[in-house]
Amino acid sequence: MEALPYIRRFQGSTFVVKYGGHAMEAEDLKESFAQDVVMLNLVGIKVVVVHGGGPQISALMEQMGVKARFVRGLRVTDEKTMEVVEMVLQRINKDLVALIGRHGGAAVGLSGKDGAMILARKMRVQLQAKNGKTSAVDLGLVGKIVDVNPSVLNTLHRANFIPVVAPVGCDMNGVTYNINADTAAGKLAAALRAEKLILMTDVEGIRDRNGKLISTLSVERAKKLIAQGVISEGMIPKVECCIEALREGVAKTHIIDGRLRHAALLEIFTRSGVGTEVVASIKRKADFGGRPTNLTNGVGAS
């Protein structure tokens, strides 16, 4: 009964879910994630799944004797590495499509190259040394998204299919690029004017300086926590992805723990949720799909 008003509100809405982390590795979590996706589809929510594959790519590269290199969390991708990336992502993609199918959903596997969905260009990165000088770093075939065409996703949704997207794109010359899955999910959510962007991680959500889980976080406060070092390391790009998606028109964004069974449903269809929702601003009155808010500190009640 707690879920009913949320189901009513979100029927016909679009949710983009970035699937990654431990939820992609443990069999019980894979099953529960597929069930969540099918459930959302059955109650009338249009779901797009964008999956990662970093650990699986690194594992195969190690087996092949190829050493993985990272700069600012981005995988340096030469042509040989790109072949491994596409091979692993394709296998993950088709396995996930089949898993959703076993639970009663009709999914279609895609990459950002299908239907000219994700147009990318080579990413340029500048690193600053301790002496203050900057130098360019060549990441190889790592892409920066320059445009998104969601037509193929809209077509699939009209036919009641669930798109499952691997995060690769290409440029106008057909060169394939490796793209960060969080970034791809955020840009797709913006292009679809999604109601929600949901990022699955291996942590419960965002915590304050006292270690308490923050239920609802405004963009303004998120920026302050980053500046103060409370939000740090790998959580920074995820929060920045949420902020960018909100700026580009996504209604709400969520960072949830993929290690928790049915985390997506618990976050979406319960009033307290289980992770952190990042929103443009915190309203003085919570509505359906929002958290009750503690107005003294701008942090949602857990």
| pLDDT tens digit sequence for 183-215 | 999 999 999 999 999 999 998 999 999 999 999
pTM, to two decimals: 0.89
Q: Report the greatest alpha carbon distance in the chain.
A: 60
d(CA 267, CA 5): 14
Q: What is the total count of domains within the chain? A: 1
The alpha helices in the chain, defined as continuous H runs, are 4-10, 27-42, 54-63, 79-102, 151-158, 181-191, 219-227, 235-247, 263-269
Q: Is the pLDDT of residue 5 over 60?
A: yes
Angle between helices 27-42 and 79-102 (to 10 degrees): 60
Question: Helix, strand, coil proportions of the chain in percent (round to 5)?
Answer: 35, 25, 35
Q: For residues 275 and 21, which has the higher predicted lDDT (pLDDT)?
A: 275
Supply the pLDDT for residue 189: 98
CA-wise closest residue to 273 among 283, 260, 221: 260
The predicted-structure confidence for 204-247, as pLDDT tens digits, reads as follows: 999 999 999 999 999 999 999 999 999 988 888 899 999 999 99
Q: Which of the four pLDDT bands, split at 50, 70 and 90, describes residue 125?
A: confident
**With contact defined as beta carbons under 8 Å apart, do 195 and 15 qualify?**
yes
Extract the tokens encoding 234: 């790998």
Which DSSP category does 283 fall into? -
CATH code for position 13: 3.40.1160.10
Range of the domain at 234: 4-300
**Vertex 104 angle, CA 99 and 105, to 5°:** 75
What is the rounded (10 degree) CA torsion for 26, 179, 192, 225?
A: 80
Q: pLDDT confidence of 62, banded at 50, 70, 90? A: confident
> What CA–CA distances, in Å, run from 151 to 98, 112, 148, 155, 264?
23, 12, 9, 6, 26
Quote the tokens at residue 276. 């952190």
Q: In this predicted structure, what is the pLDDT of residue 171?
A: 94
Burial annotation 240-259 (CB, 10 A radius, 16+ → b, else e): bbbbbbbeeebbbbbbbbbb
Mean pLDDT of the chain: 89
Q: Determine the pLDDT at residue 294.
A: 38
Residue 24 DSSP one-character state: G
Please tell me the distance from the alpha carbon of residue 19 to that of residue 197, in angstroms, as a whole number.
11
Tell me the pLDDT tens digit for each residue of 143-169: 999 999 999 999 999 999 999 999 999
**Residue 65's pLDDT band (cuts 50, 70, 90):** confident
